[in-house]
Structure 1
């Protein structure tokens, strides 16, 4: 039976050792070209807000919306139009008795005609149409600004996730390095016991497999650090070869649960989707005003002045240039708007009603989401305290099992289980600390504070 176990464990050990060599060689070749950059979490968030390409794209759209808003303001100004023309007429052909007799004569009083003038239109009243268009464009500008803030918050939340993930991975690397030292020392002691015929070859092989697995875990963690670092570097618009080292640790100061109560009391009214709903309501209100304006008459002040040639004001026409101008009022009303615009107004009202109901539904969902984060944050803080105690217990258990095993009072399986339990308890503490911070930043984003 022992011989069969040895046959199974030997190929596993060889494959594990080969894979570890591949992983470590790749990791070493990469780190030679890396640029090291130390960042705290706040520094990473500041850099993300200032350098991220997606945020810059949204800022460009915001500038475009601001330009459209300025253009809409110009609609209230008078419209002036300069006109100039020159025409050269052919001879006049006159036909009698069908097309059989044709007589030709020059155009009277001259074959030339020219005009040069300036026209102006000033809107006096249009049912609030211009104001509604300006309000609509102002809302679109606010939406573009909100998109920048929301994108910034989203990118910062993503950067927080990558940064805290790096903290978790660096701690895991530290824990795995410690476990590797324990595995190497344990294998050395077991080989000594085997030479003294205190343990079987199976224990030696099992310890070697355990050592190889830890080596593989360490190599895998180093690769995960490289991948996560690349993701964070791209997010911060840094070269992918940048090796980011977190200044903060999982044990960074965390806000108390009481501090998060202020965020709960906001009821999510500052959340990005709620602010977007407010802008949606304002946009639909301006659309309704604009639609209704087409039911109203328009009143414009018109004026013109120009030079004309020849003079057709006299009969017969005179071969001379004259200048003339006028000022007047032009009123228009579309009677067809009484029946053509009715359903458009009704559709605008329904869409406004939908936007108002949507905001109410989103407020309910947002409040539930924020309260859930508050509950989970309190739970995470409690889990941190429990895991801190578990580490001491798991460490004591490992020391006891190690003493028992090397005194032939316990099995190697029990010792390895104790080692894994100690390793897991340390990592669970880091996980709970990182999760608490992640919940806190999710809550900040959810309330529009990130």
Structure 2
């Protein structure tokens, strides 16, 4: 595969100036009633995510549960210790020797016992060790899922944060444009008083100002929505006011990106490793089924006190307390299981093959997604260069038409079209620059390097 190498382009003074202007007024139009002010740059937002996210807390608890499952599997190796005690009363025994002859025997009515039983597995065909290994693999999966949840939520925070940056920059651009339009409206109104232009042109200029004002209001509402989304992600109280360092989020030093290294890193993503662990768990499951065909050995022992003594098989029993203990080895082997296990083994093999296919599909999907995102990122770099040239042309076009209009050499509609074209190219530039940063982080996420 051809290797592409492209560094992140430096941010232009245009976007930097917009964000510097926005930072001075940003906290004002988003503030609520009495509340705390929370200042966050992007790194601080990600740290707050790690501390407060309920999704991460859920993943951590699932990891802890997986660790407990390992302990549970290891406890199977420990001996089982039981204590049994009983007390009951027995009636006298009546023996019917013949139809007309009944013999009564006196018994000892009070009977009790106290017994301790111990049983410890010695050999289970390897099933205990296999069970422990499977539980340990599930711990690794839970840990990978925890990292995956963090990366997914971190990307969501980054995209939301950058979305706010775009809207804040757009707010400054809209207000700057509205200021220019208001100045032009004042001049057009002055020309109208002198009778050099028509009322229609004044109305057009006024309508353009009204539209820009509506755009500012819409943009502010959209900003509040994204701020609320970010508060929810970071578990910040809704009444608090967020103050974001929008400039630093876009001026970070980004490393160079190589598609080969990105795709190599993508194959180490949590999703791929989870599929690999799933394959290994299925392989262990196959081994466990095979182990179930082997005999099991257990060490057992019992010791107890009993009263009265019925162990002599004499009647009446001896009215004495006695103790008795046993120790030995118990073996169990299921012959029928040798025939019944064949279907289970075949199904276990198919599960292994299915897991391997799913792992391959996952790798291919990630590599394809990696390449598409890399090409999209390269496109943003080329787009920025083109738009930077277009914005210079739009500026010059607007300057010329503005001069012509006030010299009565151009129509007002031509000036408005030039103004709209200038605004559009300026917005395209700030949008492309922020999209380039967003796609950069998206690349890091897809390649598994967003940690």
Bin the TM-score by the shorter chain: 0.7 to 0.9
Residue aligning to 1:135: 133
Residue by residue over 1:321-361, the C-alpha shift from the partner in whole angstroms, topping out at 9 and shown as x without a partner, is 11121221111011121222221111111011110111112
Say whether 1:304 aligns with 2:302.
Answer: yes
Q: Which residue of 2 aligns with 1:418?
A: 418
1:233 has 2:231 as partner: yes
1:315 positional shift: 4.0
Q: Is the 8 Å Cα contact of residues 37 and 241 (structure 2) preserved in structure 1? A: yes
Q: 1:268 to 1:28 in 2, by over 3 A?
A: closer
Distance 2:242 2:137 in 1: 40
Over 3 Å counting, the alpha-carbon distance change for 1:393 and 1:93 in structure 2 is: farther
User: Which stretch has the larger CA shift, 159-168 or 345-354?
Assistant: 345-354
| Structure 1: stretches of 5+ with no match in the other structure | 1-26
Match of 2:21? none
TM-score, normalised on structure 2?
0.88
The CA deviation at 1:128 is 1.0
Q: State the match for 1:339 in structure 2.
A: 339
Q: Which residue of 2 aligns with 1:6?
A: none
The equivalent of 2:268 in structure 1 is 270
State the shift of 1:78 in Å: 1.6
Shift, 1:68, TM fit: 1.6
Instruction: Assess if the C-alpha contact under 8 Å between 1:297 and 1:333 holds in 2.
Output: yes
8 Å Cα contact 2:263-2:447 kept in structure 1: no
Residues 1:68 and 2:69 are matched in the alignment: yes
- Does residue 193 of structure 2 align to residue 195 of structure 1? yes
In structure 1, the partner of 2:42 is 41
How many angstroms apart in 1 are the aligned matches of 2:441 and 2:173?
26
**Pair 1:337–1:84, CA change in 2 (3 A):** same
TM-aligned CA deviation for residue 95 of structure 1? 4.5
> For residue 125 of structure 1, what is the aligned residue in structure 2?
123
- 1:235–1:343: structure 2 CA closer, same or farther, 3 Å change rule? same
- Which residue in 2 is equivalent to 1:259? 257
Which moved further from structure 2: 162-171 or 395-404? 395-404
State the distance in 1 between where 2:178 and 2:36 align. 27
* Residues 94 and 104 in structure 1, CA contact (< 8 A), matched pair in contact too: yes
Task: Report the Cα distance in structure 1 between the residues aligned to 2:294 and 2:308, rounded to whole angstroms.
Answer: 41
Q: Is the 8 A contact 2:120 2:300 kept in 1?
A: yes
- Alpha-carbon contact 1:230-1:242 (below 8 Å) kept: no
State the match for 2:349 in structure 1: 349
Are 1:89 and 1:111, in contact at CA under 8 Å, matched by a contact in 2? yes
Q: Does the aligned pair in 2 maintain the 1:295–1:338 contact within 8 Å? A: yes
Aligned match of 2:60: 59
- Name the structure 1 match of 2:282: 284
SS at match of 2:365: helix
How much has 1:262 moved relative to structure 2?
6.0
Give the aligned length. Answer: 420
Unaligned 5+ segments in structure 2 are 1-27
Residue 105 (structure 1) shift: 4.2
- 2:92: which partner in 1? 91
Cα distance per residue 1:266-324 (max 9 Å; x no partner): 15221121011012112212221222222111011111222122222224232211112
State the 1:254 CA deviation. 5.2
Change (3 A) 1:106 1:445: farther
Check the 8 A contact 2:56/2:149 in 1, yes or no.
yes
CA-CA distance at 1:423 after TM superposition? 1.4
In the alignment, which residue of structure 2 is the partner of 1:382? 382
What SS does structure 2 have at the residue aligned with 1:139?
helix
Task: State the distance in 1 between where 2:54 and 2:40 align.
Answer: 19
Cα distance between partner residues in 2 of 1:45 and 1:388: 32
- Distance in 1 (CA, whole Å) between partners of 2:36 and 2:392 is 38
Take 2:377 and 2:30, find their aligned partners in 1: how far apart are those partners? 41
Contact 2:31-2:241 at 8 Å conserved across structures: no
Shift of 1:102: 6.4
Q: CA deviation at 1:165?
A: 0.2
Q: Deviations over 1:224-258 (max 9, x none)?
A: 111110110110010123332321337424535x4
| Residue 363 (structure 2) pairs with residue 363 (structure 1) | yes
